[in-house]
Amino acid sequence: MLILFKTIRNNPIVKAMTPWVVLSLVFPAILLFNALFLSVFPSQPMIEGKANAVQEALNPKNNLMQSSFIYYSRDPNQLFGNFYYTLGTQLAARGQLGSAESMLDKAAKLLPNDGYVHMNYGIVLEALQKFPDAATQYQEAVRLDPKMVQAYYSLGLLQDKMGNVDLGVQTLQKAVDLAPENSFINYDIGVLYAKKGDYQKSAYYSQKAVEGGSEFAEAYNNYGYALAQLGKYDEALKAVEKSLSLKPDSAAALDSKGFALYGLGRYDEAMKAYTEALKMDPTIGEIYLHLGQAHEKLKNYDKSVKAYETYLQMTPDASDKADVEGKIKQLKMQITSRNHK
């Protein structure tokens, strides 16, 4: 028996297979331990100051994507790459971003041709506000898989966040071409077209977002705002009212409502909508500009000046700064003239 054992042990085929047999037995045990460990120990608290970024990266619009795992393989890179990938995505979903970054970095090095790994690594890097590195990972994901819609989508939004709206639109266009009925993509490309001042395209994509998601309050608001910018105030008001019926406390929708009412010449109602919007969120500078315009139409010049000045204080780099400053000067002259009568 001993001689037989030695013969088998020294067989070159057995020697070659032994590490894989051991690994195939040990690796599932490691995964089981990992699952038990994560289920027993509580999540670490979110990194201070990163909670919003984490929620943005891991919300339904930008979920961690799952790859097809190959746990039994003759390639140790595949085995351990998937192990790090699994652990990294689990840690990311639990808010442990620093540890997740480390695991996904190892996974990306072991699985350089897996687009899903690069995609998820990018999500974590973006949540950590490492934007250039995140963009690199998204770009690698779409290079490896030109049909990976979510990678294009995430990359486009990130490019806009990094200040390149035009590039963001180009990238989101690729995403919407691959998924033309996706409400989120249509909504966000509509938002970016509004930023560019192309309200015709903004209205087009926002309408598609509305058609694809009947309860999408933000899409109704963006659609209404684009219509108002195109002078279609009645249609705009209907869209914005629908948005407010779905989300009554939206400062952005109340601002859009005021904008539509202003276009219809209903200045008192517009002023009330703007005032209500500022109660909801006093940090949106553009609402003060709109409020100032409504007060000006109602000849409330003192209040108009105050609103315009607040707008300039909140948005010191506004593109219309010179125009607003000129308006303030003109109104102050009218106030002086009126007071001397």
Q: Is residue 196 part of a domain?
A: no
Whether 81 and 140 map to the same domain: the answer is yes
Q: Cα(5)–Cα(14) distance, rounded to whole angstroms?
A: 11
Single pTM value for the model:
0.76
Q: Is residue 239 part of a domain?
A: no
pLDDT at 13: 47
Supply 158's token pair: 């990130």
Whether 119 and 97 map to the same domain: the answer is yes
Supply 44's token pair: 């670490």
Supply 275's token pair: 């005032």
Enclosing domain of residue 36? 1-42
The long-range contacts involving 227-233, CB below 8 angstroms and separated by at least 24 positions, are 227/203, 227/260, 228/256, 228/259, 228/260, 228/263, 229/194, 229/199, 229/202, 230/199, 230/200, 230/203, 231/263, 233/260, 233/261, 233/263, 233/264
Per-residue pLDDT of the chain (341 residues; tens, 9 = 90+): 434 334 444 545 444 444 444 444 444 544 444 544 444 444 444 333 333 433 444 443 444 444 444 444 567 778 888 888 888 888 888 888 899 999 999 999 999 999 999 999 999 999 999 999 999 999 999 999 999 999 999 999 999 999 999 999 999 999 999 999 999 999 999 999 999 999 999 999 999 999 887 789 999 999 999 999 999 999 999 999 999 999 999 999 999 999 999 999 999 999 999 999 999 999 999 999 999 999 999 999 999 999 999 999 999 998 899 999 999 999 988 888 777 76
pLDDT at 39: 46
Whether 130 and 79 map to the same domain: the answer is yes
Supply 245's token pair: 């019926």
pLDDT at 321: 92
Q: Cα(7)–Cα(56) distance, rounded to whole angstroms?
A: 60
Whether 6 and 67 map to the same domain: the answer is no
Supply 114's token pair: 């897996």
User: DSSP secondary-structure letter at 231?
Assistant: T
Whether 31 and 80 map to the same domain: the answer is no
Q: Cα(77)–Cα(85) distance, rounded to whole angstroms?
A: 11
257 and 244 Cβ atoms separated by less than 8 Å: yes
Entry field: residues in the chain: 341
pLDDT at 12: 52
Backbone angles phi, psi at 142, to 5 degrees: -75, -25
Q: Is residue 67 part of a domain?
A: yes
pLDDT at 76: 75
Whether 58 and 36 map to the same domain: the answer is no
Per-residue CA distances from 335 to 85, 291, 338, 341 (Å): 67, 18, 5, 10
- The string of pLDDT tens digits covering residues 2-55 is 343 344 445 454 444 444 444 444 445 444 445 444 444 444 443 333 334 334
Supply 212's token pair: 């694809």
Q: Cα(282)–Cα(165) distance, rounded to whole angstroms?
A: 26
Measured CA angle at 157 (ends 153, 158), to 5 deg:
115
Whether 12 and 129 map to the same domain: the answer is no
Last residue within a domain, chosen from 179, 210, 227 = 179
pLDDT at 325: 93
Measured CA angle at 243 (ends 241, 244), to 5 deg:
65
Q: Is residue 222 part of a domain?
A: no
Q: Is residue 148 part of a domain?
A: yes
Last residue within a domain, chosen from 179, 208, 235 = 179
Other CB atoms within 10 A of residue 214 CB: 11
Whether 31 and 84 map to the same domain: the answer is no
Whether 98 and 37 map to the same domain: the answer is no
Closest-CA residue to 84 (of 57, 119, 117, 112): 117
pLDDT at 73: 52
203 and 226 Cβ atoms separated by less than 8 Å: yes
Whether 166 and 82 map to the same domain: the answer is yes
Q: Is residue 107 part of a domain?
A: yes
- The string of pLDDT tens digits covering residues 274-303 is 999 999 999 999 999 999 999 999 999 999
Whether 14 and 113 map to the same domain: the answer is no
Q: Cα(29)–Cα(25) distance, rounded to whole angstroms?
A: 7
Whether 57 and 175 map to the same domain: the answer is yes
Q: Cα(46)–Cα(30) distance, rounded to whole angstroms?
A: 26
* CA within 13 Å, CB half, 212: 18
Residue with tokens 């002086």: 336
Closest-CA residue to 267 (of 256, 259, 278, 276): 259
Domains in the chain: how many in total?
Answer: 3
Q: Cα(235)–Cα(219) distance, rounded to whole angstroms?
A: 14
